[in-house]
Structure 1
Amino acid sequence: MNKDAQLRHSINQKLIENGERDRLKELLRTKLIECGWKDQMKAHCKEIIRQKGLDHVTIEELVTEITPRGRALVPDSVKKELLQRIRTFLGKNSII
């Protein structure tokens, strides 16, 4: 495992141990609902299914097709807020 992978693993472990990961996931879920991201993604999924037909699309294909758009639609303000919360957590817990 290289240094970056080890650091990511260490940070993830600390986030899980302290329950911060679950709090961050809940914050993200709330923010995405508030900004309309969830509704946009739901509409996008419905459109793909309508185009391809329910019997001609698998969950794996749907996920593969919507993932890039889903990531692109996350507002920068949400990304910045999550990053700041992670930095604050790391600073308080002396991980890096």
Structure 2
Amino acid sequence: MKIESQLLKKLLTLNGEKERLKELLRERLNECGWKDEMKSLCRSFTRKKGRNNVTVDDLVHLITPKGRAAVPDSVKAELLQRIRSFLHSTAL
């Protein structure tokens, strides 16, 4: 499984598809308000703890699980479909 994952990453990168998928993800997350939701969460946490008492690591620790959980299923499905289409078009 690890080898397959590494091969997929390499194929996506070599073809430029990885960057296109990243851009699509950025667009979709922005459209659905995910980015604003995460920004608000960071601001709220920073206000609560005090600006000088918060590190980037603190924010990453807070945001990562919440951010992953907040990605809409429709966005995940669209990305998965794009990856499947890419794999099908490369005839693997």
Please give the range of the TM-score, normalised by the shorter of the 2 chains: over 0.9
The alpha carbon displacement at 1:92 in A equals 1.1
Aligned residue-pair number: 92
Query: Partner of 2:65: helix, strand, or coil?
Result: helix
Aligned to 2:82, which of 67, 82, 85?
Answer: 85
Counterpart in 1 of 2:60? Answer: 63
Paired residue type of 1:81: E
Per-residue CA distance 1:10-54 (angstroms, 9 max, x = gap):
000000000000000000000000000000000000001011111
Scaled by the length of structure 1, the TM-score of the pair is: 0.93
Any residues of structure 2 matched to 1:1-96 within 5 Å, and which? Answer: 4-95=1-92
* Percent identity of paired positions between Structure 1 and Structure 2: 53
Q: Distance in 2 between matches of 1:70 and 1:16?
A: 24
What RMSD over aligned residues (CA atoms) do the two structures have, in Å? 0.7
Q: Which runs of 5+ in 2 are unaligned?
A: none
Instruction: Give the TM-score, by structure 2 length.
Output: 0.97
